[in-house]
Every structure is written in C-alpha cells, then in structure tokens.
Amino acid sequence: MLQNKRILVTGGAGVIGKSLVEKLTKMNAVILVGDLKSKPKEWGGNIKYRKGDLNFITEEEIEFFDPEYVFHLAATFERSFETYDFWDENYKHNVNLSHHIINCLKKSKNLKKIIFASSYLIYDPKIYLSKDPKSKPKKINEKDNINPRNICGSAKLYHETEYKFLSQFKETEFDYICARIFRVFGKNSSDVISRWIRLLLKNETIEVYNKKNLFDYIYADDVAEGLIRLATTSCKGVFNIGTGKSTKIEQVVEILKKEFTNPKIKDSVNNSSYESSEADMSLFQNTTNWIPSTTVEKGIKKIIEFEKLKKYDEDALPINILITSISKKIPLINCIKNALLKIGSGGIIHGGDSDKNCLGQYFIDKFWNMPKFDKLKDQEIIDYCKRNEITIIIPTRDSELLYFAKNKQKYFENNIQIMISDFKGVENVLDKLLFNNKCKIKNIPIIKTVEHIDELNCDSYVVKERHGSGSQKIGINLSKNKTIDWAKNLKNPIFQPFIQGEEFTVDVYLNKMNKVKGVITRSRDVVVNGESQITTIVKKPKLEEICIDLVESFKLFGHVNIQAKEVAKNEFVIIECNPRFGGASTLSIESGLDSFYWFLLEAKNEEIVDYPFLQNKKIKKQIRYPQNFFI
C-alpha cells in the first residue's frame, strides 16, 4: 500500500526511525527524512534527507515534497526523571515542534494520514504506580483515564488534542493515528537497557533501581512495523503499541548476566513509586491482525552486537564558529546564529575585530579583540581556534579574503573550514582590472575598466581602487578633470565610464563542487555608502543566467554577490563581483537562499543535493534601519 508513496519521516535517524525508514525503503516508498542527526552513511541517495532542527522547516519545503503520509517521530524526553533544564527543551522539541509540523502540513493537498508517535505517559499514573511492587502488571487500555505523568506526557496529549481538533474541519481532511508507545528499547538508543549495555561493555558498574518494576519493553523494530501496519489500515484515532507482556527489571538483569562475564551490578532502591504496566493490545491486534514478537532477550542480543561495532558519533560535536571583522554587522551575525540553530548541533559563535569597542561584540557569545590583520600571524588565529575548539571561520571583510583563500588548505589541515573560494578565484574577482579582462575572454558582459583615463571616451566617469571594496573612496559621475583629481587620493585607481541604468545585486550560493545552488536578484532601491538601505526582490532571468555563468566559470564557492546595471531593456553589464556576504544579502537569506545553513551542512560533509532551493514568495522587500538593543 505504501509502494511509491511520498512519505515524510520526522526523527527518522532515531532508534525507531532508522528501522522505519529501512522498512519503507524495502517497500519502494519515496522518503524524506528530517532529523538533527547526520544522514546515516549506510543510507543511499534514494532517501532524501534534511539535517537540522525541524522547528525551522518551512511550508515551502513541505509543499515541494508534497507528502502523502507522515510519520512524526521527532521528540525529546527524559523518561526516568525530568530535570529543570528539560522545561525549555520539552517546549521547543515537543510542544512547539509538533505544532509547527502540523501547521506546515495542514494545507498539504495530497496528505492522507499522519502517524504520530505518542506515549503511554499520558495515562493516569495512578493506574499503574504504587508504593509497593506488584506481582502482576496493570493492563492499560486506550479508554483508561488520562492524566499525563510529566511534561513530556502533557506535550504528547496536547498534540493528540490538536489532531482531534483539526479533524473537525473540512480544510484538514487527512486521517491521523496517535500511537501510544510503551517502553522502547533498541539500537543506538538512550533507553536504560542500552545505557547498561554500553557501561558493561566498558567494564563499568551499572546501578539498578527498584528491580521489581514491571515494564512493557518493546523493541524498536517492532514499533516501526506496528506504525506501518497502522498506517496501511483505514482506521484512525488512538492505539497502544507495546508487546502486551511486561518484564521485571530483575529479569532484564538476569539476561545481562548471561551475556556478560562477571558484570558489575549494584542494586539500589529509591523512594519513587513502583511501576507495574503493560499495554492492552486488543484494539491494535484486532485492527492490524499482528502483534509484536521480539523478546527482551532477543532484543538485548541485537543491541550488544550493534554496540560492539558502533563507531564514534560525530554528531555529538558542537559547531563553534569565528566571524572575523564583525564591526557592526549585526544582521550578518543574526543570520549565522539562525543557521546554527537550524542545523541543531549547538555551538558557540566567536566574533573578532580590531576595534575593542565594536558593536558586534554584544551580539555574539565570545569576543576576540584581534590584532589588525597586517600584524596578525597565521598561527595566532589557528591557536585561538584550537583553544576554543573552533572548526568554522567566516571572513566578512574584503581585505581578509585573499589571506584566507591563500591559506585555506593550511587551516583545513588543522580541522578548520573557511567560507571562502579558492585563492585563484578570489584573486581574479577582487582585482577589478583582472576581473574585467577575464570576463571579456569569457564573453561575460562587463563594464569597461582601464588603468588610464585616456583609454575611455565618455562624458562622465567612475574612479575607484583597483583592489578591495568598490564602495571605498569611490568617485561617481565625475567630469574628467574631477576624476583625475579624485584618483590622486587612491593607491591604485582604475577608471570606468559612468552609465545610466537601474542597479541590481545578485546573491548566489555555490556548493563545494563550484555549482550554483540558488540565486536571487534584488533591486538596489536606496543606496547609502555603497550598501542598499532599501532593496526589493525582482525577477531577472537573463541577468541570473549571466551571473551563474560568471561565478561557475571563475570556480567560486560559498556566498557571492554581484553588482550589475540594466543599461537597456533586458541588457545588463556586470559592475563587480564580491566573493563574500553582502550588507543587504540578508534579504536573500530570508527569501530562501540559505547560504550559511548550506555551508554548515557541507562543512559537516553533508551532500546538499537533498536540500532544495525554495524561494519564499511572501518576502519582497527589506528596509534597513537603526534600532535599539537592551542588555
């Protein structure tokens, strides 16, 4: 039934999700997985993947994939004891996440069914908790009283209620399944059985509390099978998923004693209540004609085998970033912050600047009052990065770009990746005269650029520095005599004719293979000191084709912005190319050109082919203005 169906799996790289995805793959489903973890290396390219916090997934992404079925597994929990810090985590990754997912899905035209991984924690704990251990478990039925045991259970119940609410309206005609799952254990899990196995493999002591507790342990593979069987029925509503048979903690311990030679086990008792629970699986079995069958003993053997072969988890490492020359580039800093949140790996943002009073220091996690670049030695930056476990550098100033491009490999060898093109590409575009000559050879329409003013024959001139930012010390629309006078104050002046025409900036992201991932054009409506104060998204297909040809032929990488003018109807000339993030490029980020997110993914060795460039149709214009910030 699920063959060739488009299926979204949230939390698909988790303990249940991996098994679910593997089963769906064998059924030839078309799968999109979203998870904080990186894509499992054993998964092929036929599984589309989105790494990152799903609180940031957009309606455009959902609409583009157009799911027919959704398995919503993504969640966070602390089953034994919820800590103080879990308060915010539960809201973000349970309450807010589930609401956001359903909000993005509710307008999906072809959505047939959502299968939500709920929990038996929503049942009233009075049913199955007691002061003293019980010899027999309480069989919990779907109709039993509801009173969530903790805030995780409350979040699950709230989302169940959201499905029930939406099912009343014709605008949301999809069916839903709320699977109240009992005690899951499985490969690469954080459940107590897996934790004990990891400790015993390291010859460490496990501490066993209240060994008379009775739990309905269900192996993750069986949960995945159960979810699929529910998805393929015509039913909707609430179903328990367990084995229907409880196991005492002391029975689990006996199994572990058989598997390990002289395991170190410490028995303890805490003052919490004893649990005696198991799922009433009558409704599930009558609906699916199936019942989970993996025993605890068989599941433990599989986990031990898995843990012995498991490799180091790189996803546990945070991403620490250094942004150089932060100055007052608050919008850029905020874009990088959002990308870090979106990828979901955690990390610290460091900001460097030679001005100890720069405004940017108040918007990052840690400030480095860097020496000026002409006085800074290579090793100083590398040492700072190593001390602070920084693996990413994002340069923001033209005068730094050549240095970082030239030393890119040296930093890479020190496990530091830089958002910068290779040296040759940066050199070719920052040198405006060289850039002009290269563009002519490549038949790219470029404004004429010369070293000697007499080589031009025009009424008005532009004069600027040959190297660096074109907005620095630029003279625009000057007579020939005034241009000559202006050039005397420049180190290496170059000259261009002043031409009338509407100005545009084209923002581009190129992947590590130097191929364009996305492109957005915006008009420069109001320009102050060379930067757009008001800028608007526009469609200029011919200009975008020219810019794609330009940046790919120069083999650039990362975020690039190109300045251009429309000199006649649909005729353009390139003014300059900057291999970095521009002052008003934040509009392009908001509009779907997710440059920093894509770069961080590539830095984590993720292939970004699965991450579509989807332009936001709602956002059109950006107005940059000063505002207050209170500490």
> Residues 423-441: pLDDT tens digits?
999 999 999 999 999 999 9
CA 361, CA 352: separation in Å to the nearest integer? 8
- Give yes or no: residues 27 and 126 share one domain: yes
pLDDT for position 272: 78
Domain-ending residue, one of 420, 435, 456:
420
Indicate whether 23 and 147 sit together in one domain.
yes
In the chain, % of residues over pLDDT 70: 98
At residue 470, the 3 state secondary structure works out as coil
Hunting for tokens 């008003």 — which residue is that? 584
Angle (CA) 627 580 366, round 5°: 55
Which of these ranges, 294-303, 370-379, 488-497, has the smallest mean pLDDT?
370-379
Q: Please give the single-letter amino acid code of residue 460.
A: S
Long-range contacts of 296-301 (CB under 8 A, 24+ apart): 296/185, 296/193, 296/217, 296/219, 296/247, 296/251, 296/252, 296/255, 297/255, 298/219, 299/185, 299/186, 299/193, 299/217, 299/219, 300/193, 300/197, 300/252, 300/255, 300/256, 300/259, 301/259
Evaluate whether residue 504 is within a structural domain: yes
**pLDDT score, position 93:** 95
- 419 vs 75, 187, 288, CA distance in Å? 32, 36, 52
196 occurs within a structural domain: no
The answer to whether the pTM exceeds 0.85 is yes
- Give the CATH number for residue 42: 3.40.50.720
Whether the per-residue pLDDT at 120 is higher than 90: the answer is yes
Handedness of CA 345, 348, 352, 355 (dihedral sign): positive
**Same domain assignment for residues 79 and 28:** yes
CATH number, domain with residue 338: 3.40.50.20
The model's pLDDT over 529-578, given as tens digits with 9 standing for 90+, comes to 778 899 999 999 999 999 999 999 999 999 999 999 999 999 999 999 99
**Distances from the Cα of 268 to the Cα of 41, 208, 250, 273, 388, angstroms:** 40, 6, 12, 14, 40
Q: State the pLDDT confidence band at 311, using cuts at 50, 70 and 90.
A: low
Q: For residues 112 and 234, state if they share a domain.
A: yes
Query: Pick from 420, 447, 480: which residue ends a domain?
Result: 420
Give residue 77's pLDDT: 85
Does 88 lie in the same domain as 125? yes
What pLDDT score does 129 carry? 95
User: Looking at the structure, do residues 281 and 321 belong to the same domain, yes or no?
Assistant: no
* Cα atoms in the Cβ-side hemisphere of radius 13 Å centred on 29: 27
pLDDT band at 314 (very low <50, low <70, confident <90, very high): low
Place of tokens 């546990």: 316
Q: In what order do the strands lie in the sheet with 390-394?
A: 366-369, 349-353, 320-323, 390-394, 417-418
64 and 174 together in one domain: yes
188 by Cβ neighbours in 10 Å (0-12 / 13-18 / 19+) ranks as middle
Q: Which residue in the block uniquely carries the two structure tokens 């957009």?
A: 58
Select from 588, 557, 560 the least CA-distant residue to 574.
560
List Cβ neighbours of 442 (8 Å cut-off, separation of 6 or more).
549, 550, 553
Task: Note whether 222 and 325 are same-domain residues.
Answer: no
Q: Confirm whether 94 is domain-assigned.
A: yes
Please state the domain count of the chain. Answer: 3
Say how many C-beta atoms besides its own lie within 10 A of residue 123's C-beta. Answer: 24
pLDDT of residue 458: 92
Average pLDDT across the chain, whole number: 94
pLDDT at site 472: 63
Once rounded to an integer, what is the mean pLDDT over residues 27-39?
A: 95
Instruction: With respect to residue 86, please indicate whether it lies within any of the assigned structural domains.
Output: yes
Q: Is residue 323 part of a domain?
A: yes
Range in 428-437, 468-477, 479-488 with the lowest mean pLDDT? 468-477
Spatial contact of 519 and 548, defined as CB atoms under 8 Å apart: yes
CATH of residue 623's domain is: 3.30.470.20
What domain range is 323 assigned to? 317-420
At a CB cut-off of 8 Å and minimum separation 6, what does 398 contact? 430, 468, 469, 578, 580
Judge if 243 and 325 occupy the same domain.
no
Structure token pair of residue 389: 């476990």
Q: What's residue 464's pLDDT?
A: 93
pLDDT of 471 reads 62
List the structure tokens of 630.
Answer: 């209170």
Is residue 441 one of the residues assigned to a domain? no
Q: Give mean pLDDT, residues 67-80.
A: 90
Secondary structure element (H or E) that encloses residue 578, with its range = strand 571-578
Please tell me the chain's helix, strand, coil percentages from 3-state DSSP, rounded to the nearest 5: 35, 25, 40
Same domain assignment for residues 363 and 279:
no
d(CA 318, CA 310): 20
- Packing angle of the helix pair 595-603, 330-343 (nearest 10 deg): 50
Binned at pLDDT 50, 70 and 90, residue 179 comes out as: very high
Assess whether 285 and 370 both reside in one domain: no
Do 335 and 224 fall within a single domain? Answer: no
Q: Decide if pLDDT at 379 tops 60.
A: yes
Q: Tokens standing for 330?
A: 């608050």
The predicted structure's pLDDT at residue 312: 56
Segment 36-40 shows an average pLDDT of 91
| Count of residues in the chain | 631
Is 420 buried (19+), middle (13-18) or exposed (0-12) by CB count in 10 A? buried
Query: What is the pLDDT, as a whole number, of residue 309?
Result: 86
Cβ neighbours around 88 below 10 Å, total: 9
State the number of CA atoms in the 13 A half-sphere of 468 facing the CB: 13
Residue 50 placed within a domain: yes
In a domain? residue 174: yes
For 175, the token pair is 């069916």
Q: What angle do CA 346, 350, 354 make, to 5 degrees?
A: 170
Angstrom distance (rounded) from CA 475 to CA 498: 10
pLDDT, tens only, 218-262: 999 999 999 999 999 999 999 999 999 999 999 999 999 999 999
Q: Which of 381, 399, 420 delimits the end of a domain?
A: 420
Residues ≥6 apart with Cβ < 8 Å to 468: 398, 399, 430
